[in-house]
Amino acid sequence: MREANVSKHGWKWYFSVLLALALGAFVAARILEGRGRSVLGAEKVSLKTDSNPVPVSLADFKNGFTSVLQPALPKVVNISSTKLVKRQSQMPDLFNDPLFRQFFGDQLGPQSSGPQSSQPQTEREYSLGSGVILSPDGYLLTNNHVVAGASDVEVFTQERQKYKAKVVGTDPRTDVAVLKIEASGLPVFTLTDSSNLKVGDIVFAIGNPFGVGETATMGIVSATGRALGGTIEHYEDFIQTDAAINPGNSGGALVDIHGDLVGINTAIITGGGGGNQGVGFAIPINMARNIMEQILQHGRVIRGHLGATVQGVDPDMAKAFGLSHGGGALVADVEAGSPAAKAGIERGDIILEVDGQAINSSDDLSVRVSETPPGTTVHLKIFRSGQTKDVAVTLGELSEKAEATPSAHVPAVLDGVQVENLTLELAGQLGIPPKTAGVVVTSVDSSSAAAAADLERGDVIQEVNRKPVHNVTEFGGALAGTSGKPVLLLVNRGGSTRYLVVQPR
């Protein structure tokens, strides 16, 4: 028995040795395979200082992220702009004050002959911001709001050099501006593809917060493709980050772990405190680069035009249209003679894809269309009456004066509405076409679900559950049998139509 036990344990020992050797060989192979890969999960990462790639290893970060930031800092500049503004003087006009004249009589002459304190006074208004160098001969990118209306713009480099800058062009709709300084041999950023950014990627914000001087902060990408319903810019496709961005950072650089430029810092949510709250936004460099190239090539930005007013599709709206999920862009109106109208797109269509890429929101569609050159034929997948279909649309050019109706989030509640027949006189007063059919909302209880649903006095309801209504009788008939069920309204407000999903409480 004892000999048997010894033999049994010897076998176990022998097997354990073989297993250990096999595991060791496997681990060694994986280590060798992994050589040349970077930290933080990115493959074949190299830091680019101008055109010389520097391999990344853990040793590069022994003193933090100096190897990333040192090459990047000289490529960010401080911008000071001066604007002449006229303000009303706040000084009281003592010469015309009755009590003052009571003591000095008419020796001052007729009233109003004294100094005209109410006349506007010209003052200088100063603004501080940041910018990034994109060419050795001095082309810079910054935010439009940093230089808007400025009479003088000065640029200060990290080497304490001062330059007078020329505003080459601006695009207020994306808040991008292109500047030019007379210089040569400047260090420039390498631009990367911002569409490759993922939530959780490490990023650095570089700028001049509060005018204290060049500052770098670190954070992660909190979200991509962020749109805020036009509350910041007309076209919004922001990178959201928790890297500290403060006043003065506007126009500065958002760089990735490679030291490459991924975005232009542009806005923050302050929560009323006026400083960083961990919610900052940057314009993706893909968008900013497109704007800059168009300004340099054409002197202006040329955008594609679809000719449809769109709004978001939340789960309630999707359910009302028979769609299984939210997302996409709901067509609320189609401009007569527009590319959308020529392609057969109709009010009530939901645009799900553009050229095979999913549309997540109305803002997403607006950005995609605006970045597509006029004359391009795009292929849309739309949802209509329970079915999907493909539609080819050749985009037109967006007029400089054209402003699409901003998309809106519509609360899904309705109750407490009074309506009356729409007359030609009422249509004229409401600013809608005389041939418009529907019923006009004469009152909405402010505490009702209808008020919370954004239905307003003066709105004209044209459809109920996709059925046209021409008068109060038809309106009442269309609502019959909808108790406790969602109701879809097509509302005309000031000549523009939109859909509202309403749910009686």
What's the confidence (pLDDT) of residue 25? 46
379 is catalytic: no
Q: Report CA-CA distances (Å) from 72 to 221, 252, 261, 437.
A: 19, 11, 9, 61
The question of whether 362 is a catalytic residue gets the answer no
In angstroms, the CA 278 to CA 498 distance is: 34
What is the CATH class of 304-397?
Answer: mainly beta
Backbone angles phi, psi at 423, to 5 degrees: -110, 165
Query: Of the ranges 165-179, 276-290, 482-496, which one carries the lowest mean pLDDT score?
Result: 482-496
Would you place residue 483 in the very low, low, confident or very high pLDDT band (cuts 50, 70, 90)? low
Task: With beta carbons less than 8 A apart as the criterion, state whether 495 and 405 touch.
Answer: no
3-state SS record for 469-493: CCCHHHHHHHHCCCCCCCEEEEEEE
What's 12-40 look like in SS3? HHHHHHHHHHHHHHHHHHHHHHHCCCCCC
Q: Tens of pLDDT along 160-207? A: 899 999 999 999 999 999 999 999 999 999 999 999 999 999 999 999
- In 3-state terms, what secondary structure has residue 218? strand
pLDDT at 420: 80
> CA 208 to CA 212: how far, in whole Å?
6
For the chain, give the number of residues.
505
Nearest CA to 205 out of 148, 151, 262 is that of 262
Segment 252-269 shows an average pLDDT of: 92
Output the CA torsion sign for 258, 263, 268, 269.
negative
Instruction: Report which of residues 8 and 248 the model is more confident about.
Output: 248
Tell me the mean pLDDT in the region 452-468: 83
Residue of higher predicted confidence among 151 and 78: 78
- Per-residue confidence (pLDDT) for residue 349, from 0 to 100: 94
Residue 127 clears pLDDT 80, i.e. is over it: no
Q: Is 441 exposed, middle or buried (0-12, 13-18, 19+ CB in 10 A)?
A: buried
Right CATH for 194-298 from 1.20.1250.20, 2.40.10.10, 1.10.10.10, 3.90.420.10: 2.40.10.10
Mean pLDDT of the chain: 77
Assigned fold of 417-502 = Pdz3 Domain (2.30.42)
Q: Looking at the predicted structure, is the pLDDT value of residue 276 above 90?
A: no
Residue spans of the domains in the chain: they are 194-298, 304-397, 417-502
Answer yes or no: same fold for 194-298 and 417-502: no
- Residues 473 and 475: their CA atoms lie apart, in Å, by 5
pLDDT for 488 beyond 90: no
Q: Is 470 a catalytic residue?
A: no
pLDDT tier for residue 53 given thresholds of 50, 70 and 90:
very low
Encode pLDDT of 378-436 as tens digits. Answer: 999 999 989 999 999 999 998 865 443 333 332 333 456 778 888 777 787 788 887 78
pLDDT at 1: 28
Identify the CA nearest to 310 among candidates 344, 360, 356: 360
For residue 224, pLDDT over 70 is answered with yes
* Given 250, 362, 366, 370, the catalytic residue: 250
**Identified catalytic residue from 145, 256, 314, 333:** 145
Query: How confident is the model at residue 133, as a pLDDT?
Result: 95
pLDDT at 332: 84
Q: Is the pLDDT of residue 28 over 50?
A: no
Amino acid 31: pLDDT:
36
**Residue 255 predicted with pLDDT over 60:** yes
Q: What is the pLDDT of residue 286?
A: 94
pLDDT band at 233 (very low <50, low <70, confident <90, very high): confident
Q: What is the reported pLDDT for 83?
A: 76
Least confident of 469-473, 483-487, 490-494: 483-487
Read off the pLDDT band of 444 (50, 70, 90).
confident
Q: What was the pLDDT predicted at 17?
A: 46
Asked if residue 261 has pLDDT above 90, the reply is yes
Out of 38, 60, 130, 175, the active site residue is 175
pLDDT of residue 7: 43
pLDDT higher at 3 or 244: 244
Phi-psi region of 80 (alpha: psi -120 to 50; beta: other; left: phi over 0): beta
- Percent of the chain clearing pLDDT 90 (strictly above): 37
Provide mean pLDDT across the span 94-106.
48
Query: Residue 266 is encoded by which pair of tokens?
Result: 């542009």
Per-residue pLDDT of 293-338, as tens digits, reads 999 998 889 999 999 888 888 888 888 899 988 889 999 888 889 9
Residues paired with residue 267 on neighbouring β-strands, in sequence order: 281
